Structure 1
């Protein structure tokens, strides 16, 4: 019963923590359980064997201290349960006169906040989170397709070769890398369901996780570059923006590279365990989380400042005009900036991974995986210049196809006309003198 209960509960908690986030909480649970088991066995070895009663027992989730005959031992629920359910329950076991431990009462599922009668079972949870997996897979696939198309559009037309679009293209590349990194990470760590990725420690899985972390960093850094560039345009109207392009490129790619270099070296020398997708003490994660949080905070400040500047500019331009037009234009600008700056990430920045899990899943999957698609839509496909240029190219292509069709029709009509037949005969006569003489003699004979 205890082993069955243990596997069911650990599976439930593992499924309750999505693998979309960079560090996998289920590995943290696994390593925490292993540590507590080792500590429990050490306690058992240190206790004298002369004592009568029930010995120290590890039931797979909790360590039960030594007890005398008839004693009822009360222990709190494992910390891994409390971190997710926020329920501080207690379990009890009785040491029988035969020196056997009784089963825990109440059961883990009831005492620790997972009552099977009122909550989803493991199969329901698996189906639920499998649906989430399909959602973010479709989201990243749509993002990659739309972003590659947007890159081709910006690169194909010289009209779009400007600083603004260069920065957009680098942002598109960062989103593409992020989506590809998610697919690679899932393929390496979760392709084989029979293998426990928490026990893996190969170069391939470490490289996949490192590439995933780099893509996340690059994504946030280029979101910051977009914010800084927009702020520069609003404040420094008459300054040429081309002089800043290389600084933007250096910051957008150099910053994540430097952070990843420091993180990889620290992992190699301090915590070179597993696939680098776990963090035992939570300190190493801040090497990556700190810069990301800093970029989000800076973008949040820029976001507020840009809104303030836009409100001021719109008021001064309208001069007491229609309020509805003012709010519509401001709403369009705001909707353009929200997916750009990633302001929604600030909501959960200072909360633990287990806080607001359901809301975090919807935000990470809904706005995270489809964010690249939204950015491509806003900055390329819904752009009036892009639409106008594409319409011109389509009309030019259609006109060229029409001209080709007319040309072919004229050629066919000439080939099938009587005049063309006579012309062809005259050409043959010029080419073949013998044929010409033969025709002449036949005509004389007939006369």
Structure 2
């Protein structure tokens, strides 16, 4: 068992690298782990049955045994006993002609190492070392993990700061900034949910495997509850993030093109659209996963029809954003050609900020609309993963900067507050 665990821990090191980036790859490997454990249980049961039924030899001999790794027959004193590599190994096809060996001592006892552990040569049953390509991919995935962890962490810090600014200063409280605040919250929740989900997965797959019961705990449904909840929350936050960006686009469209309307009434509808719409899609997806694909942490998409329950509304929101972007761009260009310089300057400032973000948000979703994880391979897959992780993780930071810290209204209000604070605390700024 110790030798099997050593192989498992080495394999898990690569496993965790992919885990934090490509959930589908992670859970395909988790499925391999589950099948490996099931194979080990079957191998053990067959071995114990053989041990119980085979006749015993006469004279001294090393006792038949199952040492948690391989099934050993009775051994003649002073000989090397060879058996085939266990069939439950994930890489069995590569080593099916190999053997594992133990030595039966002259006294009819299995030879031990350090007086406790049985001597065993299982070199022919080990998985080969990682190829240069696999090692390069592993390092690339580690870099990607660092990239998006930094991006989400930076986004959370800036978004929290931006939310505090919009809520503390009374003069900044208006429908437009309320929508911005909800957008900031959706980005922050998305970032936090991704970080929490990764932490739970690392805790789950990083647990120490010492004995058989640890395998059973690792693969049990009870152990997967936490990461399943995290997966559901993450999917909700991602959808909410997309639909609050859609709210931003719709609000801007109504502001620049639509007729006069009651902002107070529409704000309630915006809340339903931003926070309520995701529930309509997440609940059916959750039910489909529970009833049809209730395995591991619900990130393995064996039936893509269930995954499209989440993907279609995301693509729909991105396409609508892109259409609104094109429409507003035409209006602004028409105004510029007509030299209407007096056209609501604050609206144009708002339009510039939003127009900077709408294509950033929507284009990468639209570009990769048909380049799903199942259809992309090789360099194209890594390019997609890089751009998706970079844009998704740093986008919250960009939103906070453009909608808050670079906003003239916000900067003006912060400058006023700073001047008032200086007047209230003159002793801190007096010169000697």
TM-score of the aligned structures, taking structure 2 as reference length: 0.66
Deviations 1:203-241, CA, capped at 9 Å, x for gaps: 222111111111111111111111111111121153343
Match of 2:307 among 262, 266, 285: 285
Match of 2:336 among 314, 326, 336: 314
- CA drift at 1:394: 0.6
Q: Which residue of 1 aligns with 2:141?
A: 129
- Is it true that 1:365 corresponds to 2:379 in the alignment? no
Q: Which residue of 2 aligns with 1:119?
A: 133
Q: Which residue of 1 aligns with 2:170?
A: 158
Which runs of 5 or more structure 1 residues have no equivalent in the other structure? 42-56, 65-90, 95-102, 320-327, 410-447
Which runs of 5 or more structure 2 residues have no equivalent in the other structure? 43-85, 98-123, 209-214, 342-348
Q: Which residue of 1 aligns with 2:186?
A: 174
- Secondary structure of 1:351's match? coil
Deviations 1:329-385, CA, capped at 9 Å, x for gaps: 99876434334x432222222212152222123212221111101000000000001
- CA drift at 1:277: 1.9
- Cα 1:108–1:404 change in 2 (3 A) is closer
Question: Does the Cα contact within 8 Å between 1:37 and 1:58 map onto a contact in 2?
Answer: no
Q: Which residue of 2 aligns with 1:346?
A: 366
What CA distance in whole angstroms lies between the structure 2 residues aligned with 1:16 and 1:134?
11
Q: Counterparts of 1:260-299 in structure 2 under 5 Å?
A: 260-299=282-321
What CA distance in whole angstroms lies between the structure 1 residues aligned with 2:253 and 2:12?
48
- Cα 1:241–1:314 change in 2 (3 A) is farther
Match of 1:387 among 411, 414, 421: 411
Q: Which residue of 2 aligns with 1:184?
A: 196
- CA drift at 1:171: 0.6
- CA drift at 1:396: 0.9
Deviations 1:14-47, CA, capped at 9 Å, x for gaps: 57846345x43221244379779999x9xxxxxx
- Cα 1:130–1:297 change in 2 (3 A) is same
Question: Does the Cα contact within 8 Å between 1:15 and 1:125 map onto a contact in 2?
Answer: no
Deviations 1:372-415, CA, capped at 9 Å, x for gaps: 01000000000001111111111111111117888xx9xxxxxx
Question: Does the Cα contact within 8 Å between 1:299 and 1:343 map onto a contact in 2?
Answer: no
Q: Which residue of 2 aligns with 1:337?
A: 358
What CA distance in whole angstroms lies between the structure 2 residues aligned with 1:179 and 1:168?
17
Match of 1:401 among 405, 421, 425: 425
- Cα 1:272–1:133 change in 2 (3 A) is same
Q: Which residue of 2 aligns with 1:24?
A: 24
Q: How many residues align?
A: 337
- Cα 1:347–1:58 change in 2 (3 A) is farther
- Cα 1:159–1:310 change in 2 (3 A) is same
Q: Indicate the structure (1 or 2) with the bigger Cα radius of gyration.
A: 1
Deviations 1:285-310, CA, capped at 9 Å, x for gaps: 11111211211122222222222222
What CA distance in whole angstroms lies between the structure 2 residues aligned with 1:108 and 1:211?
39
What CA distance in whole angstroms lies between the structure 1 residues aligned with 2:419 and 2:147?
37
Question: Does the Cα contact within 8 Å between 1:311 and 1:330 map onto a contact in 2?
Answer: no
What CA distance in whole angstroms lies between the structure 1 residues aligned with 2:163 and 2:354?
23
- Is it true that 1:208 corresponds to 2:230 in the alignment? yes
- Secondary structure of 1:309's match? helix
What CA distance in whole angstroms lies between the structure 1 residues aligned with 2:189 and 2:229?
14
- CA drift at 1:194: 3.8
Q: Which residue of 2 aligns with 1:141?
A: 153
* Superposition CA RMSD, Å: 4.0
Question: Does the Cα contact within 8 Å between 2:21 and 2:141 map onto a contact in 1?
Answer: no
